[in-house]
Amino acid sequence: MQGVAQAKETGLEATCFDDTDLPLQRIYSSELERPSQPFLTQPTNGQSQTWTWSEALLEIRRIVAWITAQNWPSGSRIVILSKNCAWWIMADIAVWMSGHVSVPLYPALRDESLAALFAHSEPVACFLGELDQPPPFHAAPLQSVRFVRFPNSKPEHESPESENWQDIIRNRNPFEGRPVRAAEDLATIIYTSGTTGQPKGVMQSFRSLSLMGKSMEPALGNSPYPLDRILSYLPLAHIAERAIVEMNSLIMPLHIFFTEGQQTFLADLQRSQCTVFFSIPRLFLRFQQGVFEKVPEKKLARLLKFPVVNRIVRNKVLKGLGLKHARLVASGGAAIPVELVHWYRKLGVNFVEGYGMTETGITHVPLPSQFRAGYVGNASPYADTRISDAGEVQIKGPMNLLGYYKNPDLTQHAFTDDGYFHTGDRGEIDEQGRLRIVGRLKEEFKTAKGKYVVPAPIEKLLSVSAMLESVCVLGTGMSAPFCLAVLVPDLRKETESRLRRESLSQTLAHELDRVNNQLDSHEQLRFLVVCHQPWTIENGLLTPTLKVRRTALEELFNNNFTQWEQSKSRVLWQDRDDDDKKAHG
């Protein structure tokens, strides 16, 4: 593969590596050394099923026997299309043991996106689990694919000619033996979430996946628990969840719990009694807002100041959040307000940020004694990190991608001449080697006054507000930047009343003042536009990992920018009528 050749030219093959740490070797080690240790717990209709390592591998080996019997060429692509579940993990391992390449796809992708990724990856098979809507079986790229249904797949979402996981388990004898794969072999193709355009197929090796888990060892440290527990609910098709959940379960004793969905999320979190928890800033903000709905912010702050009640209050709050047993809580995927980090740490939570990309793996985590709020930590020993003259974070090491699938030209342009990957992130490194992500270089824009504005830090300040669910700062070529925002669901219900809108406008204007008081004059927001329509994956305004699609918002509202700027109002309301016009336009 040309992409692999390009990556090797950057010197990534030089790192010494112990093959016993590779994923398959670690899996066989767990099968032999901890066969009765709980590995996976899957809730279904209020009940739960737990697999030990021995039980999971017996099921995996039967799936391997079925795959092997198909006689597909070695290295064939096999898609996993499902919400997170125990069978997702087992299918991934079975694909590797069979000598093939797993291709996880986001379960929330729309029909045209799925068809395009099937066409690009050309899979021979697809493991199909729970989805919100059926795949486009009629689309040409899916018609030659063999489908295997997980037990949690919906009957109405199944291809009539698909195989049944349970039937395979009943009818196949388990595969014997412990085949291994070379460290530099292609293990998986992970498609980026597409915030900057069309998704790209990132090829990662077995060595890279293993090192992602090992990179997190400093932050995880020595556990006081004989078996750590984690809840897996962010898409496993994303590099962060894949590394933090799946790869760590191979390196440390870790019991993976799953959730049935949003409705049962808190119950599933409580059931898991997780000791390690990973999420995105959006959820941590919702958690905080939920606490403030029960205990007003100022009252909680007062209670935490009294030593006598401090511990009682903290334990009660953390128990309600399902984080009472958590020894490490980590945020990633997007910038998180420093104030929110401090709030969790005041509750006694070991709350940290980390950093990584699909192309580089998990490269930065805080060292135990070197935490600094607003920073994502120190570089992994496997990630040589530097800041270019233009302020870009550039990374070189054995976790870097082998290349972009079927795109050698893009692979070549992704690296500097001396082998560092262009992350596209603007960053700073302090005197102790800790990295701070400032924003995306491509998101930086110039106003009509010739001043450059980086939106990410401003959005971070805005996101602290309990009123706002989503925000996006724009302003290319305008006299000053401005903000598009979506209110939290409870406030959206109140906006039908004109009187209530006036009250909300005053409060939002105060939020603008709060943010602008912390910004340089050229960064200050001229106005804020409240969008009537929530930004979702379904309407194309959020990626599958819940990141805002900035370009999509610009295209959607571009014709309104001049009118909004000329209105001279500080808070504007984008009405339902505008949505209807755009939907039919």
The count of residues in the chain is 585
* Best CA proximity match to 281, nearest among 230, 327, 343: 343
pLDDT digits (tens, 9 = 90+) for 168-183: 999 999 999 999 999 9
Write down the pLDDT at residue 8.
Answer: 39
Tell whether the model's pLDDT for residue 359 goes beyond 60.
yes
* Per-residue tokens: 289: 């807002």
pLDDT digits (tens, 9 = 90+) for 43-101: 988 889 999 999 999 999 999 999 999 999 999 999 999 999 999 999 999 999 999 99
Cα–Cα distance, 373 to 338 (Å, whole number): 6
pLDDT digits (tens, 9 = 90+) for 508-530: 999 999 999 999 888 999 999 99
pLDDT digits (tens, 9 = 90+) for 206-264: 999 999 999 998 889 889 999 999 999 999 999 999 999 999 999 999 999 999 888 88
Largest CA distance in the chain: 73
Percent of the chain with pLDDT over 90: 68
Whether 357 and 239 have beta carbons less than 8 Å apart is answered as yes
Whether 408 and 469 have beta carbons less than 8 Å apart is answered as no
Specify the DSSP class assigned to residue 242.
I
If DSSP codes are grouped into helix, strand and coil, which group holds residue 381? Answer: coil
pTM score, whole prediction: 0.86
Write down the pLDDT at residue 36.
Answer: 98
Give residue 345's pLDDT band: very low, low, confident or very high (50, 70, 90): very high
Specify the higher pLDDT residue, 89 or 539. 89
Cα–Cα distance, 242 to 358 (Å, whole number): 10
Classify the C-alpha dihedral 370-373-379-384 as positive or negative. negative
Whether 394 and 420 have beta carbons less than 8 Å apart is answered as yes
* Per-residue tokens: 145: 């694919």
Cα–Cα distance, 171 to 167 (Å, whole number): 6
pLDDT digits (tens, 9 = 90+) for 14-54: 455 689 999 999 999 999 999 999 999 999 888 899 999 99
Within the chain, all domains assigned CATH 3.40.50.980 are found at 23-33+50-180
- For 110-114, 200-204, 545-549, 578-582, which range has the lowest pLDDT when averaged over its residues? 578-582
Cα–Cα distance, 178 to 286 (Å, whole number): 45
State which amino acid sits at residue 348: G
CA dihedral 396, 401, 403, 409 (to 10 degrees): -40
Whether 307 and 573 have beta carbons less than 8 Å apart is answered as no
Percent of the chain with pLDDT over 70: 94
State which amino acid sits at residue 420: Y
Listing from the earlier edge strand, what are the strands of the sheet with 468-474? 468-474, 482-487, 528-531, 571-574
Residue ranges of alpha helices (H) inside 447-522 are 455-462, 489-492, 498-516
If DSSP codes are grouped into helix, strand and coil, which group holds residue 167? Answer: helix
Give residue 498's pLDDT band: very low, low, confident or very high (50, 70, 90): confident
Within the chain, all domains assigned CATH 3.30.300.30 are found at 444-584
Give residue 12's pLDDT band: very low, low, confident or very high (50, 70, 90): very low
Strands 328-331 and 254-258: unpaired
State which amino acid sits at residue 69: A
Half-sphere exposure of 105 (CA within 13 A, CB side): 30
Q: Which residues of 519-528 are buried (b: 16+ CB within 10 A; e: fewer)?
A: eeeebbbbbb
Mean pLDDT, the chain, as a whole number?
Answer: 90
Specify the higher pLDDT residue, 14 or 468. 468
Strand (E) positions, 222-297?
228-232, 254-258, 276-279
Give residue 108's pLDDT band: very low, low, confident or very high (50, 70, 90): confident
In angstroms, what CA-CA distances link 95 with 3, 64, 221, 543?
22, 7, 31, 27
CA dihedral 547, 553, 554, 556 (to 10 degrees): 160
Give residue 197's pLDDT band: very low, low, confident or very high (50, 70, 90): low
Q: What's the burial of 150, exposed, middle or buried (CB within 10 Å: 0-12/13-18/19+)?
A: buried
* Per-residue tokens: 435: 């990295």
Cα–Cα distance, 38 to 56 (Å, whole number): 9
Own/partner contacts of 488-497, CB < 8 Å, gap of 24 or more, are 488/289, 489/534, 491/467, 492/534, 495/530, 495/532, 495/573
Residue with tokens 């020993």: 381
Cα–Cα distance, 359 to 203 (Å, whole number): 8
* Per-residue tokens: 226: 């004989």
If DSSP codes are grouped into helix, strand and coil, which group holds residue 547? Answer: coil
Backbone angles phi, psi at 464, to 5 degrees: -65, -25
Q: At the fourth CATH level, which superfamily is domain 444-584?
A: ANL, C-terminal domain (3.30.300.30)
The residues, ordered by sequence, that sit 6+ positions from 314 with a Cβ below 8 Å of its Cβ are: 304, 347, 348
Mean pLDDT value of segment 390-409: 96
- For 14-18, 335-339, 416-420, which range has the lowest pLDDT when averaged over its residues? 14-18
* Best CA proximity match to 425, nearest among 441, 414, 436, 411: 441
Whether 220 and 248 have beta carbons less than 8 Å apart is answered as yes
Q: Which residues of 172-210 are buried (b: 16+ CB within 10 A; e: fewer)?
A: beebeeeeebebbbbbbbbbbbbbbeebbbbbbbbbbbb
Cα–Cα distance, 550 to 308 (Å, whole number): 47
Give residue 578's pLDDT band: very low, low, confident or very high (50, 70, 90): low
Specify the DSSP class assigned to residue 405.
T
Mean pLDDT value of segment 314-339: 91
Own/partner contacts of 559-566, CB < 8 Å, gap of 24 or more, are 560/529, 561/474, 561/478, 564/482, 564/527, 564/529, 565/478, 565/479, 565/482, 565/526, 565/527
Question: Which residues are 384's β-sheet partners?
Answer: 396
C-alpha angle with apex 148: 144 to 149, nearest 5 degrees? 130
Q: What CATH architecture does domain 23-33+50-180 belong to? A: 3-Layer(aba) Sandwich (3.40)
Mean pLDDT value of segment 342-350: 94
Tell whether the model's pLDDT for residue 1 goes beyond 50.
no
Write down the pLDDT at residue 195.
Answer: 53
